[in-house]
């Protein structure tokens, strides 16, 4: 007889602004299974130098007894996968994880080398072509993000630019993390027969993990395929793909570095030095407008990186683990557009009795849509029997603008609601030196 | 004393750098008239100040041109002797000079402003209250161009095509005229940028394209080029040039570059999809405004452009059909171009004059149509000769746009003010009334009952403008346009009690709150008496309910207002999403 899962334990690690959860199932026969869901950061807590990604990786290794069953990378953002980075001398935190030889790696379809089986493109298009276009457009987004960060790094750049910190944060989060991406494509084996260990999933696809996780059903609620998305959107996303594909050239930011500090104008190379004014030596008649133009440019760049950040979040996996009598929801950073498809699908009913909710996108406002939260029947005031547990990994002051603005992360009114109507476990509340919160869910 | 000539000639790229002619694919340049003035470096004149600062390159390009010598006004980028406007070497030289781009923006913006001033018969102010609008021809390396009210500026970006060639939005007449129109319209009707129904944001976009397209038709050489001929029409005594009939069919005109917007940008940013917009290709469909994709402002604005351009094509082709034909059914090219210029001028003037007859808040397309018809009838009571109003009405109807039911007369025009006998003039000074906002407000306030001006909310006379036009008989025709706006921040209970929006729209409670707008234009005739009162009253409950429901459905009810810099910028960037 197959063993029965008895308890689930979630280790919510301190990774500053990022996500890292180790999910453990304890079985009736005394065996255990371990699933690592995301491992990334874009800013460790500043007041505690003892916590590093390597220390977290070593702790994971110890806790899972040297062998991981499954690695889940919900999406490609640095704050979810940076820990998978490897080093040439094999001493990176990602090398430690790779050494745990996961049997399966689960990622969203956007990470697949080719369009997965049963994946659907928009009506009337060839799925392979549609898939390739989307993957290329994601690469375009990385290129834009990298160009923005390079621009910020460039010599001669005015560090007092008011939007620079936010631009840098979002930009860096969206730069393609090559070694981590590669690691996620090789840690479960590189032989031809290992190909089946890499699972690229989408809404409603059949994810059969019974051989590894007996008694646990894993439902994939998101992300939707392009074909699925089309049914809730009025227009196909072709024009958006085209935009991101062409964006790096359009924005001209991938030009050689130093466009601002170079002696010659890139745009008008024939101009002599005396026919140009440096920013710091501008005639009085130009200064008022020049300052405004600088800000206007920064605002637009911020608008662009915010949009690509959101697009990337919406590639996020939404996984629901159903084990025994309990349901555990891990939606990565999925934002409203990703949720919209799941919420109008037949699978939405699965959300009604969720027991543990990993708070989406570090507590940002539109990653916990009201229409989803309202479905959770187990939310309620303290003392409610079988009350919902929510687990949040976040760090204030890092993302999303000023304190109190609608884009702040975590969003205060949401945190208040989570506190009022669930048992909130927040990595921000970890004491100095504490590595994780441990949440035990009885599955019987 | 030397006397300045009345106008100055300046060289521009006509229409768009994407308009090419001849085997060598030369661009089309034109020399246009702009008001005579002694320009400061920039160029900086009495309405425009060009600041050529590039924030991506963190440097500004100095203006090294001489715009005048003694009392002679110069066109610094006119071809040298022995050169012509279509010489490739000349074109390459000027296009490589940032000062030319600066001048191009200055000239097109001044020309666009001039179109409005001529049509309205008065000076038109920028909404900021300042006199000089900034223009940044190379503001940043971004594929975007926009009007920013708080910056008092038009900002034009540039980007690179797949061959690494820079594409300058500042070189496209379409784009410069479009953005200038946003600025002018914002000066004339500053509340059209408030959250309202679906038509209001779309109206800004639509009118900007209409002005950009129609304003090119007065440049005959450009129209000739757009029809596939050399951009030079035969002069007096030169042999006539003919054009084949199949080049001037309605279909051929609809597909020509002349009715598109941003040909070069469209070709380089969208994988060969042609012009950035070619709204006239939208097929008439009386249900079009109810379709889901038409809720996006640019898309919806295109319906207004399409309605106008279908009318234009019909008027132009009807005029062409009346011309005599030559061997092989050909037409005299010069006459074809001339008829296009006349039709475009008339339609453009109607489109602009209509603004004086539009309510100052919550405009919708139907009201704009009524305003267009009214403005034209005031000036040209007899429509029988060319049928402009009939054509416009039919074309708009084909796109589902009708004068507001129950508010217009049989011709679709606003009716004259019906309760003239209820008004009190005795406490107003007629002469002061036509030029002073406080006197005007006193008149409105004392007649608030007859004019249905609510006592709630904040009321302001935004402007009192004289309008002097010349009718077809050559007789001057004077009106005074008084514009007032009402604004109130109401809680749900007040929406119910004061505005009688009862029950409240679903989703609003007595505690929720919303800004509501109202206002009107009072048109005084030459005797200073109220001729028209065209208003969207604050206490118009059905209208306010529709607006609130729309804001609720589009998530604008509780959301904070877009800050005004990004308002137009976001509209343009929005196309990267769908």
Report chain A residues whose CB lies below 8 A from the CB of B57. Answer: 259-260, 265-267
pLDDT digits (tens, 9 = 90+) for B341-369: 999 999 999 999 999 999 999 999 999 99
Tokens of B463: 């402007």
pLDDT digits (tens, 9 = 90+) for B220-258: 989 999 998 888 888 888 999 999 999 999 999 999 889
Residue B559 neighbours by CB distance under 10 Å = 11
What confidence tier does A170 reach under pLDDT thresholds 50, 70, 90?
confident
Contact between B10 and B102 under an 8 Å Cβ cutoff? The reply is no
Tokens of B131: 């006199």
pLDDT at B576 over 50: no
Per-residue pLDDT at B241: 92
Range B211-398 classified under CATH 1.10.390: yes
pLDDT digits (tens, 9 = 90+) for B446-503: 999 999 999 998 999 999 999 888 877 888 888 999 999 999 999 999 999 999 998 8
Of A403-407, B259-263, B371-375, where does the model show the most confidence? B371-375
Contact B136 A234 (CB under 8 A): no
Contact between A368 and A351 under an 8 Å Cβ cutoff? The reply is no
Contact B576 A243 (CB under 8 A): yes
pLDDT at A158 over 60: no
DSSP H/E element including B115: helix B98-120
Contact between A120 and A129 under an 8 Å Cβ cutoff? The reply is no
Contact B160 A234 (CB under 8 A): no
Report chain B residues whose CB lies below 8 A from the CB of A406. Answer: 560
Question: d(Cα A286, Cα A255) in Å, to the nearest integer?
Answer: 26
Per-residue pLDDT at A236: 42
Residue A263 neighbours by CB distance under 10 Å = 8
Query: Could you give the ipTM of this predicted complex?
Result: 0.90
pLDDT digits (tens, 9 = 90+) for B271-330: 444 667 888 899 999 999 999 888 888 889 999 999 999 999 999 999 999 998 998 889
What confidence tier does B507 reach under pLDDT thresholds 50, 70, 90?
confident
Per-residue pLDDT at B33: 95
- Computed over every residue of chain A, the mean pLDDT equals 89
Residues 6+ apart with CB under 8 A from B484: B360, B440, B441, B444, B453, B459, B460, B461, B462, B519, B520, B521, B522
Per-residue pLDDT at B530: 95
Contact B293 A299 (CB under 8 A): no
Question: d(Cα B279, Cα B416) in Å, to the nearest integer?
Answer: 34
In this complex, is the C-beta atom of A196 within 8 Å of any C-beta atom belonging to chain B?
no
* Helix, strand, coil percentages in chain B from 3-state DSSP, rounded to 5: 40, 20, 40
CATH superfamily, domain at A5-137+171-237+310-442: Ribonuclease Z/Hydroxyacylglutathione hydrolase-like (3.60.15.10)
Tokens of B539: 């206490």
Nearest to A289 among B51, B144, B158 (CB): B51
pLDDT digits (tens, 9 = 90+) for B20-54: 887 778 899 999 999 999 999 999 999 999 999 99
- Computed over every residue of chain B, the mean pLDDT equals 90
Alpha-helical runs (H) found in B399-464: 430-433, 437-446, 448-451
Q: Where are the domains of chain B?
A: 7-188, 211-398, 420-545
Residues 6+ apart with CB under 8 A from A169: A42, A43, A398, A399
pLDDT at B512 over 90: no
Q: What is the CA radius of gyration of chain B?
A: 24
Question: d(Cα B370, Cα B381) in Å, to the nearest integer?
Answer: 15
Residue A285 sits at the vertex; the CA angle it makes with A284 and A286, to the nearest 5 degrees, is 90
Question: d(Cα B226, Cα B333) in Å, to the nearest integer?
Answer: 12
Contact B96 A268 (CB under 8 A): yes
Per-residue pLDDT at A141: 87
**Residue found under tokens 């309405």:** B47
pLDDT digits (tens, 9 = 90+) for A46-79: 888 889 999 999 999 999 999 999 999 999 999 9
Contact between B143 and B159 under an 8 Å Cβ cutoff? The reply is yes
- Average pLDDT of the residues in A190-206: 95
Q: What is the CA radius of gyration of chain A?
A: 23
Contact between A22 and A152 under an 8 Å Cβ cutoff? The reply is no
Per-residue pLDDT at A161: 64
Contact between B147 and B179 under an 8 Å Cβ cutoff? The reply is yes
Q: Is the dihedral of CA A206, A212, A214, A218 positive or negative?
A: negative
**Residue found under tokens 């009604």:** A352
Residue of A nearest to B98 (CA): A268
Q: How many CB pairs under 8 A join A and B?
A: 162
Per-residue pLDDT at B271: 41
What confidence tier does A155 reach under pLDDT thresholds 50, 70, 90?
very low
DSSP H/E element including B396: helix B388-398
Backbone angles phi, psi at B244, to 5 degrees: -65, 145
Tokens of B248: 């001037």
Per-residue pLDDT at A400: 67
In this complex, is the C-beta atom of B577 within 8 Å of any C-beta atom belonging to chain A?
yes
SS3 B380: coil
Nearest to A267 among B53, B57, B136 (CB): B57
- Average pLDDT of the residues in A308-325: 93
Q: In which region does residue A410 sit, left (phi positive, over 0), alpha (psi from -120 to 50) or beta (all else)?
A: beta
Report chain A residues whose CB lies below 8 A from the CB of B161. Answer: 249
pLDDT digits (tens, 9 = 90+) for A268-289: 999 999 999 998 899 999 999 9
pLDDT digits (tens, 9 = 90+) for B75-119: 999 999 999 998 999 999 999 999 999 999 999 999 999 999 999
Question: d(Cα B30, Cα B103) in Å, to the nearest integer?
Answer: 13
- Residues of chain A with pLDDT > 70, as a percent, come to 92
DSSP H/E element including B315: helix B297-321
pLDDT digits (tens, 9 = 90+) for A251-261: 766 555 567 77
pLDDT at B562 over 80: no
Question: d(Cα B98, Cα B1) in Å, to the nearest integer?
Answer: 35
pLDDT at A403 over 70: no
Question: d(Cα B156, Cα B501) in Å, to the nearest integer?
Answer: 44
pLDDT at A134 over 70: yes
Contact between A147 and A251 under an 8 Å Cβ cutoff? The reply is yes
Residue of A nearest to B272 (CA): A242
What confidence tier does A152 reach under pLDDT thresholds 50, 70, 90?
confident
Backbone angles phi, psi at A81, to 5 degrees: -130, 0
Report chain B residues whose CB lies below 8 A from the CB of A252. Answer: 56, 141, 158-160, 166
Contact A293 B139 (CB under 8 A): yes
| Residue that wins the pLDDT comparison between A162 and A16 | A16
What confidence tier does B578 reach under pLDDT thresholds 50, 70, 90?
very low
What confidence tier does A166 reach under pLDDT thresholds 50, 70, 90?
confident
Per-residue pLDDT at A253: 62
pLDDT digits (tens, 9 = 90+) for A73-127: 999 999 999 999 999 999 999 999 999 999 999 999 999 999 998 898 888 888 8
Per-residue pLDDT at B468: 85
- Residues of chain B with pLDDT > 90, as a percent, come to 67
Q: Which of residues 88-147 of B touch A (CB under 8 A)?
A: 96-98, 134, 136, 138-144
pLDDT at B572 over 60: no
In this complex, is the C-beta atom of A304 within 8 Å of any C-beta atom belonging to chain B?
yes
Report chain A residues whose CB lies below 8 A from the CB of B140. Answer: 293, 296-297, 300
DSSP H/E element including B263: helix B263-269
Select from 2.20.28, 2.60.40, 1.10.150, 3.10.170 the CATH code of B7-188.
3.10.170
What confidence tier does B564 reach under pLDDT thresholds 50, 70, 90?
low
pLDDT digits (tens, 9 = 90+) for A330-359: 999 998 889 999 999 999 999 999 999 999
Mode of pairing for the β-strands spanning B153-160 and A389-392: unpaired
Residue A272 neighbours by CB distance under 10 Å = 11
What confidence tier does A186 reach under pLDDT thresholds 50, 70, 90?
very high
């Amino acid at each position: 007889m197959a063993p029965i899962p008895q308890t689930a334990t979630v280790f919510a690690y301190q990774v500053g602004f990022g996500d890292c959860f180790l999910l453990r199932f304890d079985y009736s026969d005394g065996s255990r299974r371990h699933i690592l869901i995301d491992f990334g950061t874009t800013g460790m807590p500043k007041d505690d130098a003892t916590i590093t990604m390597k220390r977290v990786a070593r702790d994971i290794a110890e806790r899972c007894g040297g062998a991981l069953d499954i690695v889940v990378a919900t999406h490609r953002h640095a704050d979810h996968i940076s820990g998978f980075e490897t080093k040439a001398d094999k001493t990176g935190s990602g090398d430690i994880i790779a050494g745990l030889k996961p049997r399966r790696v689960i990622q969203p379809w956007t990470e697949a080398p080719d369009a997965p089986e049963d994946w659907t493109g928009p009506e009337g298009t060839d799925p392979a072509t549609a898939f390739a276009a989307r993957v290329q457009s994601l690469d375009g987004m990385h290129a834009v993000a990298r160009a923005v960060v390079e621009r910020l790094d460039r010599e001669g750049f005015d560090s007092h630019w008011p939007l620079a910190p936010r631009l840098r944060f979002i930009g860096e989060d969206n730069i393609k993390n090559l070694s981590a991406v590669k690691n996620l494509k090789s840690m479960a084996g590189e032989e031809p027969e290992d190909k089946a260990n890499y699972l690229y999933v989408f809404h409603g696809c059949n994810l059969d993990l019974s051989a590894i996780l007996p008694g646990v059903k894993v439902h994939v609620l998101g992300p939707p395929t392009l074909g699925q998305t089309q049914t809730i959107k009025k227009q196909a996303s072709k024009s958006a793909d085209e935009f991101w594909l062409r964006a790096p050239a359009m924005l001209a930011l991938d030009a050689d570095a130093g466009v601002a500090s170079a002696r010659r104008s890139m745009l008008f190379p024939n101009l002599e030095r005396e026919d140009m004014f440096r920013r710091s030596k501008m005639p009085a008649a130009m200064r008022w407008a020049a300052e405004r133009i600088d800000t206007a440019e920064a605002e637009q760049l911020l608008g662009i990186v915010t949009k690509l950040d959101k697009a990337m979040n919406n590639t996020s996996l939404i996984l629901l683990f159903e084990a025994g009598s309990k349901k555990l929801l891990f939606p990565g950073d999925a934002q409203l557009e990703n949720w919209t498809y799941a919420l109008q699908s037949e699978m939405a009913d699965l959300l009604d009795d969720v027991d543990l909710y990993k708070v989406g996108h570090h507590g940002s406002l539109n990653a916990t849509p009201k229409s989803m939260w309202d479905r959770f029947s187990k939310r309620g005031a303290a003392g409610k029997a079988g009350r919902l547990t929510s687990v949040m990994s976040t760090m204030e002051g890092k993302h999303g603008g000023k304190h109190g603005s609608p884009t702040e992360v975590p969003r205060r009114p949401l945190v208040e609601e989570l506190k009022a109507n669930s048992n909130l476990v927040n990595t921000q509340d970890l004491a100095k030196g504490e590595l994780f919160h441990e949440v035990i869910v009885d599955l019987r | 004393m030397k006397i300045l000539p009345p106008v100055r000639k300046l060289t521009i790229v006509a229409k768009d750098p994407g308009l090419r002619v001849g085997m060598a694919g030369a661009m089309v340049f034109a020399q246009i008239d702009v008001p005579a003035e002694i320009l400061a470096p920039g160029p900086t004149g009495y309405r425009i100040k060009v600041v050529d600062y590039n924030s991506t390159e963190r440097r500004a390009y100095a203006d090294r041109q001489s715009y005048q010598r003694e009392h002679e006004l110069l066109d610094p980028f006119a071809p040298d002797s022995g050169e012509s406007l279509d010489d490739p070497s000349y074109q390459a030289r000027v296009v490589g000079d940032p000062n030319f781009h600066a001048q191009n923006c200055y000239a097109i913006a001044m020309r666009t402003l001039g179109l409005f001033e001529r049509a309205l018969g008065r000076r038109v102010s920028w909404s900021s209250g300042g006199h000089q609008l900034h223009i940044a021809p190379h503001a940043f390396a971004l594929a975007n161009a926009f009007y920013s009210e708080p910056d008092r500026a038009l900002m034009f970006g540039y980007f690179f095509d797949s061959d690494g060639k820079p594409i300058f939005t500042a070189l496209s007449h379409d784009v410069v005229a479009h953005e200038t129109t946003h600025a002018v319209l914002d000066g004339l009707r500053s509340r059209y940028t408030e959250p309202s129904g679906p038509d209001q944001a779309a109206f800004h976009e639509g009118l900007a394209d209409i002005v950009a397209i129609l304003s090119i038709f007065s440049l005959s050489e450009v129209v000739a080029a757009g029809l596939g001929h050399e951009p030079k029409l035969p002069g007096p005594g030169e042999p006539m040039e003919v054009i084949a009939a199949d080049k001037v069919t309605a279909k051929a005109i609809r597909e020509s570059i002349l009715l598109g917007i941003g040909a070069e940008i469209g070709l380089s940013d969208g994988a060969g999809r042609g012009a950035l917009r070619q709204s006239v290709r939208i097929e008439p469909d009386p249900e079009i405004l109810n379709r889901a994709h038409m809720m996006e402002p640019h898309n919806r604005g295109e319906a207004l452009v399409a309605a106008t351009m279908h009318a234009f094509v019909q008027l132009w082709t009807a005029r062409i059909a009346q011309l005599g034909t030559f061997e092989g059914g050909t037409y005299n090219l010069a006459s074809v171009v001339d008829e296009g210029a006349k039709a475009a001028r008339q339609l453009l003037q109607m489109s602009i004059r209509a603004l004086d007859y539009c309510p100052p808040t919550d405009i919708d397309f139907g009201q704009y149509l009524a305003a267009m018809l009214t403005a034209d009838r005031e000036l040209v009571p007899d429509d029988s000769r060319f049928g402009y109003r009939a054509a416009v009405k039919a074309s708009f109807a084909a796109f589902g746009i009708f004068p507001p039911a129950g508010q217009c007369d049989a011709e679709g025009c606003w009716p004259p003010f019906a309760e003239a006998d209820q008004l009190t003039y005795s406490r107003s000074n007629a002469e002061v009334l036509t030029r002073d906002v406080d006197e005007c407000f006193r008149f409105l306030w004392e007649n608030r009952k007859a004019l249905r001006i609510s006592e709630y909310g904040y009321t302001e006379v935004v402007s009192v403008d004289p309008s002097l036009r010349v009718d077809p008989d050559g007789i001057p025709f004077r009106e005074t346009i008084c514009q007032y706006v009402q604004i109130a921040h109401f809680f749900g209970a007040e929406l119910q009690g004061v505005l009688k929006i009862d029950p409240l729209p679903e989703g609003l409670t007595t505690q929720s709150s919303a800004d509501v707008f109202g206002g009107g234009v009072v048109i005084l005739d030459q005797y200073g008496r109220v001729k028209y009162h065209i208003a969207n009253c604050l206490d118009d409950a059905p209208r306010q309910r529709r607006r609130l429901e729309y804001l609720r459905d589009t998530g604008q009810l509780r959301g904070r207002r877009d800050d005004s810099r990004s308002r137009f910028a976001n509209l343009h960037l929005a196309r990267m999403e769908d």
